[in-house]
A = this chain, B = another copy of it.
């Protein structure tokens, strides 16, 4: 058994120790040609794959624990964005060398992110490559017809985002700042995603910046949006920046992994009553029939040259 096979054993044992879910749908995990899953009755499978490459998706000097966390988080976030319940992941990792300490930290970070929703590692692959990278595949369950897609936004819907925006981009520009955690440890919003099931008309997670990602909803739903800049939720740090600089971060900064969803106003009111105080949500605008994204400030149209923003219509 070579070093890389040993790593798979390492993950297997750590994975088994972390898995105590008696209602698990996982029949067979790591160790055979493939994993085996019993779909729960009346559920559809949600599945996504995302790759992180050192130096592109995280700085090369990022601590291993944070890399492991992020590899899980960006994929669990995609499951959250569908309004689904995550239950399993596969991880294919390519490593330049075998460093036991690094691997221990990496796997602790990975499993720490998986733990709250009892997400199990059920398979994957370990290979050698000169560039550190990992591809995680995440799986979730959702009731038929209940997945929250990008193409369901309707004129009149409120546009809502979770927590604050632009923090990860700020942290990338200011290493070691008080917002470093927001870059290194993005929180997949799985509880919120599941709670919005049956409420939201459309949803996605913000990985490439609000403007660009909201654009995907607008294109898929063939609608437009009016955003109110003074309503963008900003952390205390970003509130101290010059106004336009903070908006720029909030609108175009990637890596936030907050949820952006659209929802009928009366349903949003009911949602907030039902989940009073459980989630930090901010209405930032409204879906309109005419295509395109328009920015507003103090009831006036506002023009900003969004850095790196790609027009979508």
Contacts and interface: CB of A to CB of B under 8 A. Distances in A.
Interface stretch (A32-40, A64-72, A165-173, A238-246): A32-40
Contact of A35 (B28, B46, B203, B312): B46
A151 B36 CA distance: 14
Contacts of A122: 47
Nearest to A84: B34
B123 A33 contact: no
B82 A49 contact: no
A94 B92 CA distance: 13
Nearest to A134: B135
14 contacts: A27-B44, A28-B147, A31-B150, A33-B150, A33-B204, A38-B45, A47-B137, A48-B90, A49-B91, A49-B135, A50-B92, A51-B127, A56-B129, A137-B137
A135 B49 CA distance: 9
Nearest to A147: B36
A304 B8 CA distance: 29
Interface in A1-38: 1-2, 27-28, 31-38
Measured as residues with beta carbon below 8 angstroms from the partner, the interface class of chain A is 35 or more
Nearest to A47: B35
Given A2-B310, A36-B147, A45-B39, A51 B82 contact: no
A122 B43 CA distance: 18
Contacts of A203: 33
A124 B51 CA distance: 9
Number of copies of chain A assembled together: 2
A25 to B, nearest CB: 9
A63 interface: no
A32 B150 CA distance: 6
B130 A28 contact: no
Nearest to A138: B34
A133 interface: yes
A28 B310 contact: no
Chain B CB within 10 A, most for which of A1, A34, A48, A49: A34
A189 to B, nearest CB: 12
A202 B144 CA distance: 35
Given A82-B36, A150-B33, A133 B47 contact: no
Contacts of A220: 31-32
A37 B149 CA distance: 13
Contact of A53 (B57, B128, B144, B147): B128
Contacts of A204: 32-33
A92 B49 contact: yes
A140 interface: yes
B94 A53 contact: yes
A129 B58 CA distance: 13
B131 A49 contact: no
A45 B122 CA distance: 12
A37 B92 CA distance: 22
A48 B124 CA distance: 7
A160 interface: no
Given A56-B129, A92-B50, A137-B49, A82 B34 contact: yes
